[in-house]
Structure formats: C-alpha cells, structure tokens
Amino acid sequence: MAFPENLRRIIQCFDEPFSGTVSTYFLASLIAKHVKVAVSGDGADELFGSYLSHRLAQPLARFDQYRATGDAELILPFELDQTAYLSQLHEDDDWSWRAKLFVLSDDEKMDLYTPDLAEQMRCFCSCRLLRRYFTDLTATDPLNRVLEAEFRTIFPDQVLAFVDRLSMAHSLEVRTAYLDTDVVTFVAGLTGDLKIKNGETKYLLKKAALKYFPPEMVYRKKEGFLMPVTEWISGELEAYVRETLSEERLRRHGIFNQARVSELVDDLYSGKNDYRQVNKVFALLVFQEWYDLYM
C-alpha cells in the first residue's frame, strides 16, 4: 500500500492532524505478527538527554563564558566550526532559544493564515505558552530545565501519544520500562553533568550499560528510527504534495493563505529545501488530509 493511503490510516488512528513520527505504525505492524506485548525504550532520551534541544542546553548556557575564554570544551558536543549556529540560537532565557527550534515560528504561522484567521489567532502565541512552562519549572540546572519542560509537554503530548495509538492500532501492548516511578524520580534528581558529560549523551545510562553489554554496542553511533518520509516528500511524492495542497483543496476551508502555501511548496522543490522545510510542508499536508477525511 502506498504511503499516502497509509498516512490517511495513521491520521485516522490519531483522530487529529498529527504530523510527528509515523514509523511506529509500521514497526508495530511487524511486531504484532509475533507478540502481543513489547517493551520500549521510550523515556531514556527524555530522562538522560539525547535530542538536539538537550545537547544545546549546556553549550548555550556556557556560551558567554566560551566567548570570554575560547575554551572549546565549554561548547561540547559542538565543534568550533558550529559556533555561528550556537551564536544564532543563543539567548539569555532558555525558553527563548528553545522556541527557535519550533518547526514554524509564531510569525511564520501568522503568515500562513488568511488575513481574517490571522486576526482571530493573534491572541494565541506558542512562545508565550512556552515561556509560561519554563517559568513553572522546578529545575535550575540548564539541561534539567529543558528535560523537565519537555517531559511535561512534548513527551506525554507527542511521544507517548503516538507510541500508544499507533501500537494499539495493531492490538500491540507497549510497556515503557524507563517510566517506572522509582527510575523517573531517581534520574530526575541527578545533575545535568551526569546525563550529558563533556558532550557524551546519556552518560550515566551508558556507564550502567557497560556492566551488561560490550563497549562497541554501548557507544555505537546513534541511529534515529525514521522512515524516509523526508526523501519521499521532497522527491517522488511531489505530484501528491502539489495536488493535496492545491488551491482547489485549500479553498475548502479557507484557513491558509494559498499564495504562501504555494511559495513553501515551490521552495521545497527548487532545491532550497532542508529538513525543517520538509516538516513545514508535511504539517500542512497532514492537516489537509485530516480535514478532507473528517470535515
């Protein structure tokens, strides 16, 4: 079955326009042929630190000190040739740099809406919401602040949601061992430098793993579990993308500025695309498919 048909089935599993990870759907389909219960590693990255936002927390907190001393160890795991990237992200407040990692900024979202909808949406602001989340954090350590913020938001709202719904779509029960209450309580109380140390992600977890597994397994390069959706969307599915986001179909709801959507799609296929550009188009694609399925 082609990806567009599978995408519609995945959207139906969510009952909402979710444009995050979809690979779990296909993995669960294969696992369910053999077992009815599986143990997942969900929570390890979110507790010990692994994602881009986690790797950025310490270097950005120390960036002014790096500028003053030139000590490259302060910005590990980032290299000296990546200081321009860090400088672009650096802000005094952590919620502010974290907001720069959004797929679509508040300004970009407003630009995508039709003028009437944009006026109605002015009272909603993702940055303001993020700032409120960070204001209520209990952690003071730079890494732990980001981990806590995401553990309270993205993790339950996105990661656990897609794992649960896409596994249950195949009647597969997934158990998350890392989310044992005692484990979460213990790890949450650890300092950030035990989670990412000198740029080494999940430092303490890897040290513990060395008791049971060989170093080449523990320290192997991380491989993200992703389907080649980026390559499909930016390549062979161009006709499908253009048809789904066509003026005729967008006109059905009048939510988006048709000219701006067309500009995003044209940019994607003009060679300017990057990972975030594909994500922007994919988010619009999922919304349109969801709208046509449900509305």
For the chain (length 295 residues), average pLDDT per consecutive 10? 83 90 89 96 95 97 97 96 97 97 94 94 93 95 97 93 94 95 96 96 97 95 74 88 95 94 92 78 95 94
Q: Which amino acid, one-letter code, is at 57? A: A
Q: Could you tell me if 116 and 171 lie in one domain?
A: yes
Query: What's the Cα-to-Cα distance from 230 to each of 14, 153, 165, 239, 285, rounded to whole Å?
Result: 21, 25, 22, 15, 13
Last residue of a domain, one of 177, 209, 226: 226
Q: Which pLDDT score is estimated for 13?
A: 92
Q: So what's the pLDDT on residue 4? A: 87
Question: In this structure, which amino acid lies at residue 91?
Answer: E
pTM, to two decimals: 0.91
Q: Specify if 166 maps to a domain.
A: yes
Structurally, the chain folds into a number of domains equal to 2
Do 136 and 281 share a domain, yes or no? no
pLDDT at residue 230 in the model: 79
Q: Say if residue 125 is in the same domain as residue 219.
A: yes
- The domain boundary, picked from 226, 252, 282, lies at 226
105: exposed, middle or buried (C-beta count within 10 Å: 0-12, 13-18, 19+)? middle
User: Residue 91 sits in which domain range?
Assistant: 39-226
User: pLDDT value at position 3?
Assistant: 81
Count the neighbouring beta carbons within 10 Å of the beta carbon of residue 92.
7
Last residue of a domain, one of 200, 226, 252: 226
Asked if residue 142 lies in contact with residue 94, where contact means CB atoms within 8 angstroms, the answer is yes
Residue 29 lies in a domain: no
Per the domain annotation, does 145 fall within a domain? yes
> Same structural domain for residues 146 and 112?
yes
